[in-house]
Structure 1
Amino acid sequence: MSRWLEFFNDGRVYEIEDDQPINVIKTEGIVGELIEALQFTPAEKFTIAPPDAVPPDVPEPRRPMREINQEGLKLIQRFEGLHELKQGSQGEYIEAYQDPVGVWTIGWGCTEGVYEGMKITRAQAEEMLKKEIEKFETAVANAVKVQINDNQFSALVSFSYKQGARALFESTLLKLLNQGKFQEAADEFPRWDKAGGQVLLGLSRRRRAERALFLSQSWEEFLTWKPSRVLRLAEPGQPLMQGEDVRQLQKALVKAGFNIQVDGFFGNDTDKAVRQFQQQKRLSVDGIVGDETRRVLGI
């Protein structure tokens, strides 16, 4: 039997036992700041101070010492999109809109302090974005325990801005990164491409762009990325994958120095060669010939 509290943005706090709600506390929205505090702290537990405890002094919050770079900011802007730039008598403006779940949003996905009928300029939208990103910059700086470069930092800020800081704190990506496993951490980005259990093309593109930025590679090509046919060894009892795609793969592997037969059938020898190639090139060693393996092979 397990029991926990679940906080909702409208201020309700539900007590859940074995996935069933058993109690609700209506706080009239006063837990909003607490929700944000929980979302942006890497703390793994909380305690309740005794009634006679004296609250400690806390220094004034400082602006993050590290900021997202221009490439990271551009990546966020390109994927978030500037919502409906309009032309009025006073010039161009942007108006607040409700996102798919009813949250008032403006500019490049900003929600803090946004209300119905709000109008801002493009310059104000950029300032709002930079301001809203600050808390994600702080979250990344607090979460990462190893030395990372500006591109790696910026990719993580973009990831957190879209998925939430809590998602980063609890991710295998962060765990691997803090172990100094940079390539393995980079390979975790594409795994975060689902919403509601469904793979979304927009998320697949963004995660690959963030991975590329993390590795200091060109990321803009992923703005229009589309999944290609994946080649891999068939599951037991299933017919072997075959055809011209496999033949081209085998030719590329032979060119890379592997002694395999070019017969158009994805058998064990081809699978072994693919895994060895992936290991040599420090790719994910999974035997799956996806876009990254294709790119390095040149097919």
Structure 2
Amino acid sequence: MSNSSIHPTSIIEQGAKIGNRVSIGPFCHVGSEAVIGDDAVLISHVVIMGPTTLGSGSKVYPNAILGGDPQNTKHKGGHTTLIIGKNCVIREGVTMHRGTDGSLGVTTVGDNCMFLAYAHVAHDCIIGDNVTFSNNVMIGGHVTVGNNVIIGGGAAIHQFTRVGHHAFIGGLAALAHDLIPYGMAIGNHAYLGGLNIVGMKRSGMARPEIHNLRHAVRMLFDRTKPIKLRAEDVRVAFAESAAVADLIGFITTDTKRAYCTPPLDSAIEISDSDDKS
């Protein structure tokens, strides 16, 4: 731990691996199996428990607790891990739990993620890169969140749910079903209210592909056939579109959850008028 700074009030248990240029402020507790990457910062009162890896350049704010035991009665105390990627920002009071010994055994968080105050990541979750959890977001065990997802304040995601990449979940939404890539979920319980057009533009998606997805999603959720059959029709109709192929790949993947769909009494509304690109 060359050139690292550790406040004398902090406890670093023997066996912990501390990288170079790490800053550990007052009253932190780092367990014996923790691995702290280069240039990481623990501001103060941070607890890192069990076999937890914190990626280089990540910054953790007071009262965050990383690597706690999973809140799962099936866990029998076996060796499980939490792996957090590079350059993550973990704000006050955030909690992240390790995996369970009867399941994946690991909770993973990608690079460049931001977790605002009091967000919670449960056991065996897989979080992609460039993901934002706003304040008080909570997700159940075994949730998968794709890259570049934004989750609004106070939202909750049911266990085993998948959230596709570049999706947006509105504040206070309760998501109990799989959300398609680029989808925008709103409401309690959350329904599919359209596509995350802003996220598409920010990702650099070409305008023709945005229009392909608009029309593909209208076709996918028209309720004339079971969704898996409609998915094949969409695949054929948009055979040249990589974005649509990605969407259909998500739909045809085996899942433990149903899909987040538009309300039963209305068709999905994705008007062309809001696309000024």
Shared topology, TM-score over 0.5?
Answer: no
Which of 1 and 2 has higher RCO (CA within 8 Å, sep 6+)?
1
Larger-Rg structure: 1
| Band the TM-score falls in, shorter-chain normalisation | under 0.3
Greater share of residues in helix: 1
Greater share of residues in strand: 2
Q: TM-score, normalised by structure 1?
A: 0.24
Q: TM-score, normalised by structure 2?
A: 0.26
